[in-house]
């Protein structure tokens, strides 16, 4: 099962079985997918659109790729728009959620997928600024996006936040201490939110 299907399986939406295929209706819902200009993010964005959601396609620098995802969504009759934000800047992360709110209404589905590996380097020979940048994108950005989206979700009494982690939240990756630290932190942040909110609104996916 691919990542986009897993994410859909944990969304708070009605489901009905037809053979082995789960049909999920997300009509009337707005989804924000960070890091959606390619890879897993674009697959999630397309799958959400196929289920009927209006999709905000976030990108950092790949505008052409993000616009291609928007075009693909519109080609299947969906509604989408590309949004740019540098999630290493916490104000930009908050602003991203606010921009989507203004364009489409409150975010019902937030998929924190954006991330970066950083530069391979052993501790002591690495660049502390680059180390902090990875944490800012992979951990702090999702926190600010989740915090901004959660307020509206609680007000509307509906919604879901999906944080995409990694096997490297458990498994060390030589030379990538910032990435593994960020993913482990994101996993625990997700679990803490789930405990605090009694699992409502929050889910975790580790590809």
Read off the CATH number of the domain in which 102 is found: 3.40.50.720
Burial annotation 110-139 (CB, 10 A radius, 16+ → b, else e): bbbbbbbbbeeeeeeebeeeebebbbbbbb
- In DSSP terms, 33 is beta-bridged to 57, 111
Determine the structural domain holding residue 120 and report its residue range. Answer: 26-205
**pTM of the predicted structure, to 2 decimals:** 0.84
Query: Is residue 144 assigned to a domain?
Result: yes
- Per-residue pLDDT, 22: 55
- Per-residue pLDDT, 206: 53
Provide the pairing of β-strand 21-24 with 15-18: antiparallel
Residue 83 buriedness (CB in 10 A; 0-12 / 13-18 / 19+) = buried
Higher pLDDT, 131 or 7: 131
Q: Is 143 a catalytic residue?
A: no
- Per-residue pLDDT, 15: 45
Query: Is residue 199 assigned to a domain?
Result: yes
- Per-residue pLDDT, 201: 59
Q: Is 35 helix (H, G, I), strand (E, B) or coil?
A: coil
Positive/negative CA dihedral, 19, 22, 26, 32: negative
- Per-residue pLDDT, 166: 82
% of residues, the chain, pLDDT over 70: 84
pLDDT band at 158 (very low <50, low <70, confident <90, very high): confident
Catalytic one among 59, 179, 201, 205?
179
> For 64-123, how does the pLDDT look when each residue is reduced to its tens digit (9 = 90+)?
999 999 999 999 999 999 999 999 888 999 999 999 999 998 899 999 999 888 888 889
What rounded mean pLDDT belongs to the chain? 85
- Per-residue pLDDT, 8: 43
pLDDT band at 1 (very low <50, low <70, confident <90, very high): very low
Query: Is residue 90 assigned to a domain?
Result: yes
Query: Is residue 160 assigned to a domain?
Result: yes
Query: Is residue 14 assigned to a domain?
Result: no
Residue 6: pLDDT above 60? no
Query: Is residue 136 assigned to a domain?
Result: yes
Average pLDDT of span 183-192: 92
Average pLDDT of span 115-133: 88
Query: Is residue 1 assigned to a domain?
Result: no
Average pLDDT of span 167-192: 89
Query: Is residue 15 assigned to a domain?
Result: no
Q: How far apart are CA 131 and CA 181, in angstroms?
A: 10
Number of domains in the chain: 1
């Amino acid at each position: 099962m691919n990542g986009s299907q897993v994410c859909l399986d944990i969304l708070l939406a009605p489901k009905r079985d037809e053979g082995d295929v789960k049909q999920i209706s997300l009509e009337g819902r707005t989804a924000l997918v960070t890091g959606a200009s390619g890879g897993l993010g674009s697959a999630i964005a397309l799958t959400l659109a196929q289920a009927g959601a209006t999709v905000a396609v976030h990108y950092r620098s790949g505008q052409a790729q993000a616009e291609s995802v928007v075009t693909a969504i519109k080609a299947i009759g969906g509604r989408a728009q590309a949004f740019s934000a540098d999630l290493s800047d916490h104000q930009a992360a908050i602003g991203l959620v606010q921009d989507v709110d203004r364009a489409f209404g409150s975010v019902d589905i937030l998929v924190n997928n954006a991330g970066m590996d950083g530069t391979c380097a052993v501790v002591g020979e690495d660049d502390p600024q680059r180390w902090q940048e990875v944490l800012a994108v992979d951990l702090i950005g999702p926190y600010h996006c989740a915090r901004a989206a959660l307020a509206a979700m609680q007000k509307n009494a509906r919604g879901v936040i999906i944080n995409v982690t990694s096997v490297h939240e458990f498994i060390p990756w030589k030379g990538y201490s910032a990435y593994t630290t960020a993913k482990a932190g994101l996993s625990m942040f997700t679990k803490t939110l789930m405990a605090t909110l009694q699992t409502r609104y929050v889910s975790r996916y580790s590809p």
